Homo-oligomer: A and B are copies of this chain.
Amino acid sequence: MGRPLHNERFAETALPKRTALPVFSADSLSSVAYAPDEIVLTLALAGISAVALSPWVGLAVVLVTAVVVAAYRQNLRAYPSGGGDFEIASKNLGRKAGVVVGSALMVDFTLVVAVSMSAAAQYLAAAFTSLIDHRTEVALVGVLLAGLLNLRGQQFMGRAAVVPTYLFVIVMFVLIGVGVVESVTGGLTPAPSSSWDVLPTADQQTAWSTLAMVMLILRAFSSGAVSVTGVESVAGSVQYFKKPKGRNAGTVLTIMGAISCVLLMGTIYLAQRTGAVVVLDPAAQLRIDGRAPTEDFYQNPLLGQLARSVFGLDTPMFYVVILATVLVLVFAASTAFSGFPALGSRLARDSFLPRQLKARGDRFAFTNGIIALLVAAALLVVLFRANVNGLVQLYVVGVFTSFTLTQAGMVRHWRRQRRYVHEPAARRRLIGTTVLAHVAFVLSATVLVIVLVTKFAQGAWITVVAMCLLGGLMLAIRRHYDFVDRDLKLERNSSARALPSRVHAMIIVPSVRKPAMRALAYARASRPSTLEAIVVDVSPAITTRILDEWRRLEIPVPVTVLDAPYRNSVQPVIDHLHRVRRRSPRDLVVVYLPEYVVGTWWERILHNQSTRALAGRLRFEPGVMIASVPWRVDSGDPAQTSSAGSGLQDPSSERTETR
């Protein structure tokens, strides 16, 4: 879809900060639509009293965000080429670390799409109650839409993301601002959900202990850590920034981190003031006067509840909040759709994925990447029935794996730098940076361990398995390419350069018609040392007819008739070839295959099947060249149509170099 972009237009796609911020931070900022929910919901499992801890959990997340962002500012300056975490890990820690980061990020891109669209479906259902039972379908449509829009090209979606991201940020600031003012002046309406009693869950009663409590709080933190995701997206997109790319990306990262933290804390604050509650299983956990909610009870996500409390139900602003949230989530998914093929192309350049994917901006690679992501995300949505909480358990693992390895790589990078920096001020700065990298590494690793421990059984194991499979595949592909590279390397006196002494031409003649005659003419024009026409005697009647025609047309080429006792037309040719090659092993044998070229796929089924089988078999024979002579059915004389379709040519695009 869309026209290919000319190389020279590539520079145009470099984005100024004011555009880059909304384009790349949709992923990060949109997590405020589900991260606070996850914190509150997990704490609610430990009883309503634990919910009071949510600001502290939020602060822990803010701390992690601050450290990660600070560290990445340095990373981006050190590696402004846009390879992102994959490049840092590969260069400093080696191939395997790079592959782990690569597969972790690919899995996480998939989860960004699945989580964002599931959350979007949840918000739509909050505004339009008729969608409550169709959230899976809505999320699927969303995944499809985001994928298709991205097929139209990164540029289009990039520009389009500006509006919803700014809109979302403004709306959220208004929501939090008005909420805070109302809360201070006492005008804040309590959330409808504040009237529910939250029951302690079963595992609370049986295994109640300090350890279980701590585990739940840590799990709440793990879930809240989704708020930190999105940093790696910016890191992988530095090449789209205006110069100085690294510094500009760093600034955008800082602003993004700051906004993200404000939104997270603001939301948690308002949730506390309005008494809004979300729980994992409303039917089991919520009670009013001992009665459970009815069958058709739908639990609004936090932002929906807050918008109701602050602006009132069914006010225009309520719908604006929902709409802005849904839009920013769609564009968060869109970020993944542009990041995924870019990462794929980076991995392909290092031979971890099929090399045909490496061309940046090539439609083929881009399209296949988007389709792969679309299918994987759609599968996740269906498997988890668009359940945000279920999907979040799989999330974050990949991002923090990537953070941890990246920071490990940066620690090594900065240490190595010490050798080259001697000027005292620069050296002090470097020490500071190195310390920061260490802190970020330890913190990321700690978060990763917490996430793995608290979420492994809940679903993180799926991510780990997926990462291992992907990583194994990438290493296998790389090994194959390495093997081929070694095998194909040209030595100075390689036999590959040896000129065959003589050329023996064989023309396969299935019938005396135009294609075979053209093949014969081309073979003769190439003036081989010897020339023979091959007729495979599958049917005596046909063979006789061919030989008769041959004589009648006085064709000056000898015919060899090959017996086909098993009515298979391929093996006799191969056997004959072996005989010829045994007679003169240093000769080149050129097998001329006449081919009908037809237009449609169903016509193609009707022709050339045995020619194709023969060509496929001949490829495995040494010292053989396969010459396909196409005859376009309905083509007429080639001389008459030779200039067809050449109107597009541009003489300036040809340069001849003579040795």
Separation of A480 and B600 alpha carbons in the complex (Å): 12
Separation of A596 and B645 alpha carbons in the complex (Å): 30
Q: A121 → chain B, closest Cβ, in Å?
A: 35
Cβ-defined partner of A356 (8 Å) among B494, B598, B609, B615:
B609
* Inter-subunit contact B484/A605 (CB<8 Å): no
Residues of B close to A152: CB separation below 8 A: none
Residues of B close to A607: CB separation below 8 A: 484
Separation of A496 and B524 alpha carbons in the complex (Å): 13
A16 within 8 A of B: no
* Inter-subunit contact A494/B522 (CB<8 Å): no
Q: A68 → chain B, closest Cβ, in Å?
A: 34
Separation of A492 and B549 alpha carbons in the complex (Å): 11
Cβ-defined partner of A581 (8 Å) among B527, B596, B642:
B642
A634 within 8 A of B: yes
Within 8 A of B (CB), among A199-233: none
Residues of B close to A524: CB separation below 8 A: 499
Residues of B close to A283: CB separation below 8 A: none
Within 8 A of B (CB), among A526-575: 526-528, 532, 538, 547, 549-551, 553-563, 565-568, 572, 574-575
Residues of B close to A644: CB separation below 8 A: 622
* Inter-subunit contact B606/A355 (CB<8 Å): yes
A130 within 8 A of B: no
* Inter-subunit contact A488/B631 (CB<8 Å): yes
Q: Check A558/B656 contact, CB under 8 A, given A489-B514, A518-B496, A582-B643.
A: yes
Q: Which of A2-10, A72-80, A109-117, A184-192 contacts B (4 or more CB under 8 A)?
A: A2-10
Residues of B close to A632: CB separation below 8 A: 619-620, 622
* Inter-subunit contact A512/B490 (CB<8 Å): yes
A626 within 8 A of B: yes
Cβ-defined partner of A588 (8 Å) among B522, B532, B634, B650:
B522
Residues of B close to A390: CB separation below 8 A: none
Q: Which of A22-30, A244-252, A332-340, A359-367 contacts B (4 or more CB under 8 A)?
A: A359-367
What are the interface flags for A490-501 relative to B under an 8 Å C-beta threshold, 1 for contact and 0 otherwise? Answer: 101011111110
A603 within 8 A of B: yes
Cβ-defined partner of A609 (8 Å) among B354, B497, B568:
B354
How many of these chains are in the complex? 2
Within 8 A of B (CB), among A419-464: none
Q: A565 → chain B, closest Cβ, in Å?
A: 5
Separation of A557 and B547 alpha carbons in the complex (Å): 41
Chain B's closest residue to A515 (CB) is B488
Chain B's closest residue to A356 (CB) is B609
By size class, the interface of chain A is 35 or more
Cβ-defined partner of A651 (8 Å) among B511, B579, B609, B642:
B579
Cβ-defined partner of A650 (8 Å) among B480, B575, B618:
B575
Q: Check A646/B582 contact, CB under 8 A, given A489-B514, A490-B513, A521-B498.
A: yes
A12 within 8 A of B: no
Separation of A549 and B492 alpha carbons in the complex (Å): 11
Cβ-defined partner of A655 (8 Å) among B499, B554, B560, B568:
B560
A314 within 8 A of B: no
* Inter-subunit contact B481/A494 (CB<8 Å): no
Residues of B close to A490: CB separation below 8 A: 512-514, 517, 549, 553
* Inter-subunit contact B560/A7 (CB<8 Å): no
Cβ-defined partner of A500 (8 Å) among B517, B522, B627, B631:
B522
* Inter-subunit contact A630/B634 (CB<8 Å): no
Residues of B close to A633: CB separation below 8 A: 483-484, 487-488
Separation of A642 and B582 alpha carbons in the complex (Å): 7
* Inter-subunit contact A643/B496 (CB<8 Å): no
Residues of B close to A659: CB separation below 8 A: 550-551, 554-559
Q: Check A630/B635 contact, CB under 8 A, given A5-B566, A557-B659, A654-B576.
A: no
A465 within 8 A of B: no
* Inter-subunit contact A565/B624 (CB<8 Å): no
A259 within 8 A of B: no
Separation of A625 and B624 alpha carbons in the complex (Å): 16
Residues of B close to A520: CB separation below 8 A: 497
Residues of B close to A494: CB separation below 8 A: 514, 517
* Inter-subunit contact B497/A590 (CB<8 Å): no
Q: Check A578/B646 contact, CB under 8 A, given A500-B525, A525-B588, A633-B488.
A: yes
* Inter-subunit contact B639/A495 (CB<8 Å): yes
Residues of B close to A635: CB separation below 8 A: 622
Residues of B close to A556: CB separation below 8 A: 659
Q: Check A567/B359 contact, CB under 8 A, given A575-B646, A645-B578.
A: yes
Separation of A524 and B218 alpha carbons in the complex (Å): 71
What are the interface flags for A139-178 relative to B under an 8 Å C-beta threshold, 1 for contact and 0 otherwise? Answer: 0000000000000000000000000000000000000000
Separation of A566 and B658 alpha carbons in the complex (Å): 25
* Inter-subunit contact B521/A653 (CB<8 Å): no
Chain B's closest residue to A9 (CB) is B565
Chain B's closest residue to A497 (CB) is B517
A94 within 8 A of B: no
Residues of B close to A565: CB separation below 8 A: 6-8, 653
A129 within 8 A of B: no
Q: Check A575/B627 contact, CB under 8 A, given A581-B643, A609-B354.
A: no
Chain B's closest residue to A354 (CB) is B606
* Inter-subunit contact B497/A521 (CB<8 Å): yes
Q: Check A629/B625 contact, CB under 8 A, given A609-B356, A655-B561.
A: yes
Extra pairs beyond A362-B567, A563-B654, A581-B643 (14, CB < 8 Å): A355-B606, A484-B633, A489-B513, A497-B520, A497-B521, A499-B524, A560-B657, A561-B655, A575-B650, A579-B651, A618-B630, A621-B630, A626-B628, A628-B628
A–B complex contacts, Cβ < 8 Å, 13 sampled: A356-B610, A480-B606, A487-B634, A495-B639, A499-B524, A522-B590, A526-B527, A561-B656, A572-B653, A586-B639, A618-B630, A619-B632, A628-B628
